[in-house]
Amino acid sequence: MPSLSYARVVELSHPIHPGIPRWPGDPPVSFTQAANRDEDGYFLRSFSMGEHAATHLNAPLSFFAGAAGVDTIPPEALICPAVVIDAREEAAANPDFALSVEHVQAWEARHGRIAAGSLALLCTGWGSLWGDPARFLGLDSAGQAHFPGFGVDAARFLLEERQVSGLGSDTHGIEPGWDSQFQVNRLTLAAGALVLENLAHLEQLPPVGVVLIVGVLRLVGGSGSPAVVLALIS
C-alpha cells in the first residue's frame, strides 16, 4: 500500500469571505444566517459563491460541453506529487509574464527532470496581493486583467513532454490575465489534467518534495469547486 511521510503541512487555500477577489461577472460570496442559538439552539448559515471563486479547481465541463464535472474526478487524482516553479522575480518585473519552455528547462537544470504525474505549481508572488482585489486582478481602464501565468508552449511541454497531472498557480488563472481565450485552461482540461487557481502560500514550498491533497465539493454537474489544498512537505 502507498504510504505518506512528511515533516510539515502548508495550507494552500485562502479563507473565504465576501471581500475576496472576484472575477468580473462572477457571483458574489454571501452568507445568510439560517438558524441562531437563542431560537433554534444552534448557529447555522447558508452560503453562496461561484464555482470558480476563492482557491478552486476547474473541471473540464467548464469549457467543454458534455465533459467531466467536478463530481466525477477520480479521488486518486486528488493526491499527487508537485513541483514548484518560482517566477516571482520575472512576475515582479512584468505582470503580463508568461512562463516559457526555456524557463521550465532552466528549472530542470537546477532541480532535475519533472517526474511524470507531478502537478506543476507556478509561484508568482501574486498570493501576497490577495487582500487587495484590484491589484490581484490587475484590471485596467478597459477591464483587461493583468497577472502572470503559464505560456501555452510551456503548458503543452509540461503536459505532453513531462506528462504532468495538472497545473496550478497563485493567480486567478493558470494563463496570464490578458489571455481572454483561456488557452492554457482549455489545453490542460482537454488533457484530463487538474487546474488549480488562487492558491496561497506557494512561496513557502520547496521546488521538490511536495505532495498535494486536494479536497473539493462533489457538486453534481459542477464546472469546478472551491478547494481545500494541503501541501505535505517531506
DSSP string, 98-120: EE-HHHHHHHHHHH-PPPTTPEE
The pairs formed by 64-67 with CB atoms below 8 angstroms and a separation of 24 or more are 64/189, 64/190, 67/189
Q: Does residue 143 lie within any of the structural domains? A: yes
What is the mean predicted confidence (pLDDT) over 145-168?
Answer: 98
Q: Are 224 and 62 in contact (CB under 8 A)?
A: yes
The pTM is what? 0.96
CATH number at residue 170: 3.50.30.50
Q: Does residue 155 lie within any of the structural domains? A: yes
Q: Does residue 26 lie within any of the structural domains? A: no
DSSP 223: S
Predicted confidence at residue 129, as pLDDT, reads: 97
Predicted confidence at residue 5, as pLDDT, reads: 86
Average pLDDT, the chain: 97
The residue type at 100: S
Q: Does residue 204 lie within any of the structural domains? A: yes
Please name every residue paired with 58 in a beta bridge, in sequence order, or none if there are none: 195, 224
C-alpha to C-alpha distance for 86 and 110, rounded to whole angstroms: 12
Q: Does residue 27 lie within any of the structural domains? A: no
- Count of domains observed in the chain: 1
C-alpha to C-alpha distance for 182 and 96, rounded to whole angstroms: 14
Q: Does residue 38 lie within any of the structural domains? A: no
Q: Does residue 65 lie within any of the structural domains? A: yes
Supply 125's cell numbers.
508572488
Whether the CA torsion 180, 184, 188, 194 is positive or negative: it is negative
Q: Are 182 and 173 in contact (CB under 8 A)?
A: yes
pLDDT digits over 46-97, tens only?
999 999 999 999 999 999 999 999 999 999 999 999 999 999 999 999 999 9
Please name every residue paired with 45 in a beta bridge, in sequence order, or none if there are none: 33
What is the distance of C-alpha 215 from the center of its chain?
Answer: 12
C-alpha to C-alpha distance for 69 and 164, rounded to whole angstroms: 20
At 185, the pLDDT band (50, 70, 90 cuts) reads very high
Domain span at 208: 8-17+51-233
Supply 120's cell numbers.
506543476
**CA nearest to 108, candidates 212, 207, 209:** 207
What is the distance of C-alpha 141 from the center of its chain?
Answer: 26
C-alpha to C-alpha distance for 194 and 78, rounded to whole angstroms: 8
Q: Is the pLDDT of residue 1 over 80?
A: no
At 3, the pLDDT band (50, 70, 90 cuts) reads confident
Q: Does residue 25 lie within any of the structural domains? A: no
Q: Is the pLDDT of residue 36 over 70?
A: yes
C-alpha to C-alpha distance for 232 and 110, rounded to whole angstroms: 22
Supply 176's cell numbers.
496570464
Predicted confidence at residue 165, as pLDDT, reads: 98
Task: Report the Cα–Cα distance between both ends of the chain, in Å, rounded.
Answer: 19
C-alpha to C-alpha distance for 156 and 167, rounded to whole angstroms: 11
For the chain, give percent helix, strand, coil, nearest 5.
25, 25, 50
